[in-house]
């Protein structure tokens, strides 16, 4: 039973598994997002060029209802054909270039999907009708069919409701000028398109989360695969050094962030530093905010100086406190006397900065970082 269960893909994919899948081009993708962006771009493009669209419809109506005595022959017909074909080709080329850019950049912006080129492989699986039938009756296909049906139904219903709402006002078309009718028709078309686009956006959100669920389901791993991956990564010296470097950066950043809360920073010439905080109303004893040694000490001193935290130098106290304390904990009882002297000076120093007067006397065997 255990052997059978260990083969089931029930575990969530690791970050390494996700990165490997992304390198192979297996990323979350939704065709509905691309369709939405193309539709949105088309509607905005038509609205921004509504004057061109308006003039085109106006000329079309005038041309259709104007009778001209003109001999129609092959030469005239061919010249008119080339004239309008040229305009149509320019419009469609611009439109298709924009669609290509949308399809190229949208996956990269939303999913961070890089464009990759693969060699064309001949696949004759389409001849296997059994596999095709299995795909047709799969739950994924049924769900897609259901979502497409709902999309069409809601968009059709929205259009019908929109036209029914404004149907009584359509009589105005019979008593208005051609120019007014064309502009009003364009406005109606734009509003109806935007309503349908909002409906479509709702389905886009559902599809996005469904595709995300499907993506992580397809990357699920067995317990054995996770164990094998862990062994592989543990044995890889590059991965181990990268993990150590990442953990060191995380711990260093959190240490330096906590340093802002300190009341005083104590350091020594042997590159030991410790930051203390004491809020007399809520703390029984001073608390260690952060500790550091080596190259971190210089960063701690820079941050403390930037946030105007007092810096005190001592030859031995910083190292002793570092070796006998832990981050986030209060100092031991046997260090109460020395820390009491330090915080007495810190409070006097804060009063001196606000009110001025004589500079407070430093505790014995301490030096201040800079002169005030």
For residue 222, what pLDDT band results from cuts at 50, 70 and 90?
confident
Determine contact, residues 369/301, Cβ cutoff 8 Å: yes
User: What confidence tens digit (pLDDT) does each residue in 84-127 have?
Assistant: 777 778 777 777 787 777 777 766 666 655 555 555 555 555 55
Please give the pLDDT value at position 66. Answer: 65
Determine contact, residues 365/315, Cβ cutoff 8 Å: yes
The total number of structural domains in the chain stands at 2
Domain co-membership, 293 together with 213: no
Specify the pairing of strand 311-313 against strand 264-267: parallel
Determine contact, residues 217/28, Cβ cutoff 8 Å: no
Indicate whether 248 pLDDT > 70.
no
Domain-located, residue 244: no
For residue 259, what pLDDT band results from cuts at 50, 70 and 90?
confident
Indicate whether 137 pLDDT > 80.
no
Domain-located, residue 4: no
Indicate whether 372 pLDDT > 80.
no
Task: Look up tokens 């067995």; give the residue.
Answer: 222
Domain co-membership, 65 together with 158: yes
Please give the pLDDT value at position 247. Answer: 53
User: What confidence tens digit (pLDDT) does each residue in 144-172 have?
Assistant: 788 788 888 888 888 888 888 887 777 77
Higher local confidence (pLDDT), 22 or 214? 214
Residue environment code for 228-254, b if the CB has 16+ CB neighbours within 10 A, otherwise e: ebeeeeeeeeeeeeeeeeeeeeeebee
Please give the pLDDT value at position 168. Answer: 78
Give me the phi and psi of 13, to 5 degrees please: -70, 145
Domain-located, residue 2: no
By percentage, how much of the chain surpasses pLDDT 90?
A: 0
CATH of the domain at 275: 3.40.1690.10
Domain-located, residue 120: yes
Domain co-membership, 185 together with 268: no
Domain end position, chosen among 193, 218, 243: 218
Domain-located, residue 292: yes
Higher local confidence (pLDDT), 284 or 126? 284
User: What confidence tens digit (pLDDT) does each residue in 45-62 have?
Assistant: 878 888 887 887 787 777
Domain-located, residue 31: yes
Domain co-membership, 52 together with 189: yes
Indicate whether 333 pLDDT > 60.
yes
Domain end position, chosen among 185, 218, 251: 218
Domain co-membership, 168 together with 270: no
Domain-located, residue 56: yes
Indicate whether 246 pLDDT > 70.
no
Q: Mean pLDDT across the chain, nearest whole number?
A: 76
Please give the pLDDT value at position 336. Answer: 84
Domain co-membership, 299 together with 165: no
Please give the pLDDT value at position 298. Answer: 81
Domain co-membership, 108 together with 203: yes
By percentage, how much of the chain surpasses pLDDT 70?
A: 72
Domain-located, residue 247: no
Cα separation values, 239 from 39, 245, 251, 346, Å:
45, 10, 18, 45
Range of the domain at 304: 260-368
Mean pLDDT in residue range 334-351: 86
Domain co-membership, 205 together with 318: no
Please give the pLDDT value at position 1. Answer: 39
For residue 2, what pLDDT band results from cuts at 50, 70 and 90?
very low
Whole-structure pTM over 0.95, yes or no?
Answer: no
Please give the pLDDT value at position 13. Answer: 77
Please give the pLDDT value at position 220. Answer: 83
User: What confidence tens digit (pLDDT) does each residue in 174-184 have?
Assistant: 778 888 888 88
Domain co-membership, 214 together with 281: no
Query: Structure tokens of 221?
Result: 């791993």
Higher local confidence (pLDDT), 340 or 98? 340
Determine contact, residues 267/301, Cβ cutoff 8 Å: yes
For residue 4, what pLDDT band results from cuts at 50, 70 and 90?
very low
Task: Tell me how long the chain is.
Answer: 372
Domain co-membership, 168 together with 74: yes
Please give the pLDDT value at position 111. Answer: 60
Domain end position, chosen among 164, 192, 218: 218
Least-confidence region, from 24-28, 144-148, 205-209: 24-28
């Amino acid at each position: 039973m255990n052997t059978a269960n260990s083969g089931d893909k029930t575990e969530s994919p690791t970050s390494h598994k996700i990165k490997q899948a992304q390198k192979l081009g297996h990323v979350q993708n939704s065709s509905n997002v691309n369709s939405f962006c193309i539709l949105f771009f088309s509607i905005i493009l038509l609205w921004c060029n509504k004057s061109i669209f308006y003039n085109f419809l106006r000329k079309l109506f005038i041309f259709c209802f104007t009778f001209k005595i003109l001999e129609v022959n092959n030469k005239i017909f061919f010249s008119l054909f080339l004239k309008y074909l040229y305009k149509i080709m320019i419009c469609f080329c611009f439109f298709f270039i924009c669609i290509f850019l949308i399809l190229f950049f949208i996956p990269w912006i939303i999913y961070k999907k890089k464009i990759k080129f693969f060699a064309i492989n001949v696949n004759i699986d389409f001849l296997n009708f059994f596999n095709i039938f299995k795909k047709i009756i799969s739950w994924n296909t049924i769900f897609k069919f259901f979502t497409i049906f709902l999309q069409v139904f809601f968009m059709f219903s929205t259009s019908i409701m929109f036209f029914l709402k404004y149907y009584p006002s359509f009589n105005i078309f019979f008593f208005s000028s051609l120019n007014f009718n064309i502009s009003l028709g364009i406005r109606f078309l734009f509003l109806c398109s935007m309503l349908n686009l909002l409906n479509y956006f709702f389905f886009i959100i559902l599809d996005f989360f469904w595709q995300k669920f499907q993506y992580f389901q397809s990357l699920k791993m067995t317990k054995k695969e996770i164990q094998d991956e862990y062994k592989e990564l543990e044995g890889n010296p590059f991965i181990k050094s990268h993990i150590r470097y990442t953990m060191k950066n995380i711990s260093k950043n959190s240490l330096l962030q906590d340093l802002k809360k300190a009341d005083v920073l104590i350091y020594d010439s042997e590159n030991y530093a410790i930051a203390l905080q004491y809020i007399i109303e809520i703390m029984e004893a001073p608390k260690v905010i952060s500790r550091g040694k080596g190259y971190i000490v210089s960063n701690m001193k820079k941050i403390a100086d930037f946030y105007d935290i007092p810096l005190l130098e001592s030859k031995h106290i910083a190292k002793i406190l570092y070796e006998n304390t832990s981050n986030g904990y209060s100092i031991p009882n046997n260090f109460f006397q020395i820390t009491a002297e330090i915080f007495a000076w810190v409070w006097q120093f804060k009063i001196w900065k606000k009110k001025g007067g004589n500079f407070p006397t430093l505790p014995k065997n301490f030096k201040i970082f800079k002169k005030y």
